[in-house]
A and B are shown apart, each in its own frame.
Chain A
């Protein structure tokens, strides 16, 4: 009986910890505003013309 209670307690603790850690992760992702755009394809598409392009590297012939 005592052993079963112990297992149950461990399971509950694990579930609570899992919940808290995923909450923390979500919180981190939302902690900055980056995710507002970078997880929203439509928004990124609408911003497309303004997106910075990497420095141009031209090449001719065969790479």
Chain B
């Protein structure tokens, strides 16, 4: 999606907004600045570009949602912060510009979403912001201009079949489903009221079995479901090749001892489908799909030596749910499409040497043996 020109991003074109409750108090009520000034510079003094960054503005009317939203992963970006924190050197966890707090805020946290990033603006990231509909507050924003912008690299491109060699998810291909059909705003998007470690920590996460009740053990006519039961995450059989990040390096530019820009150096991603051993205690599975996270032992080495002394405590091949679900996949065509097929499993040789220790719990040492059976899905 082409970014808007800077002047287009601040063009309030919506008459609906001008006559709405959200404009009843005037611009400066939310944005500050000097509403009486006629000089542009003076008018913008003290301006708040995104009033929802202090969410109490929204809370004046939407207190319940805002209070829950404060705990949501969209707001806290905890899914990025937690693994970083666990890997980080405990001596460098302060808020200084070259410590965990400052680095997280300057890099990862720039991807968090506030109320307006979905309901008023295009997200700041790749779309570079700008109003969605001339400043009208959209209760249900267009997914391609909101969810799809931030989550395009993995979930979005997977779901809509934008990755080479991977078809679109069957839920959109055959049923025309959209993000909100599974990711209900009351369950996940606005938070639960309890801080979460990451998205899999959410007890209200979408669950395939909510709709596909017939796959439950004892309630299935599919032999493979009865055999594997809860030992396999659904995606092990029903997802296909997906995007993996190779690494991520946090870099910065400094002038006169002050950091003037923070940026990333990232090698190109790669496509892979890997099954690893489940390392999460909150999941019953034995095998799960894993994908490589955007991290590396020297992630923050530009900021100094020994920044990630705990690197080996968290796997870099992480539990994943690729959003490209298919009924039939290369690995579920027959028993031995998967059993004995070493290429599907995460093995030592798939892992760069300096990440072997971090992934020791995920590596599949012993590939499930061939069965010799021809049975498979028709």
Binding site for B on A (CB under 8 A): 22, 24-26, 28-29, 31-35, 37-39, 41, 44-45, 47-48, 50-63
Contact = CB atoms under 8 A, between A and B. Distances in A.
A61 B261 contact: no
Interface of B: 5-8, 10-13, 18-20, 23-28, 31, 33, 35-38, 40, 43-44, 49, 110, 124-126, 129, 153, 253, 261-269
B28 A34 contact: yes
A35 B12 contact: yes
A59 B125 CA distance: 11
Contact of B26 (A32, A39, A41, A47): A32
Contacts, number: 101
Given A25-B23, A33-B36, A39-B18, A47 B7 contact: yes
B268 A61 contact: yes
Contact of B25 (A28, A44, A53): A28
Given A34-B33, A57-B263, 16 more contacts: A25-B18, A28-B23, A33-B37, A33-B38, A34-B26, A35-B27, A38-B12, A39-B11, A47-B40, A53-B6, A58-B253, A58-B263, A60-B265, A60-B266, A61-B266, A62-B153
B19 A62 contact: no
Nearest to A44: B7
Given A39-B13, A47-B40, A50-B40, A60 B7 contact: no
Given A52-B44, A60-B263, A34 B19 contact: no
A36 to B, nearest CB: 8
Nearest to B268: A62
A61 B265 contact: yes
Cβ-closest 3 pairs across A and B: A32-B35, A61-B266, A58-B263
Nearest to B38: A33
B26 A29 contact: yes
Contacts of B265: 60-61
Contacts of B124: 54
A32 B32 CA distance: 11
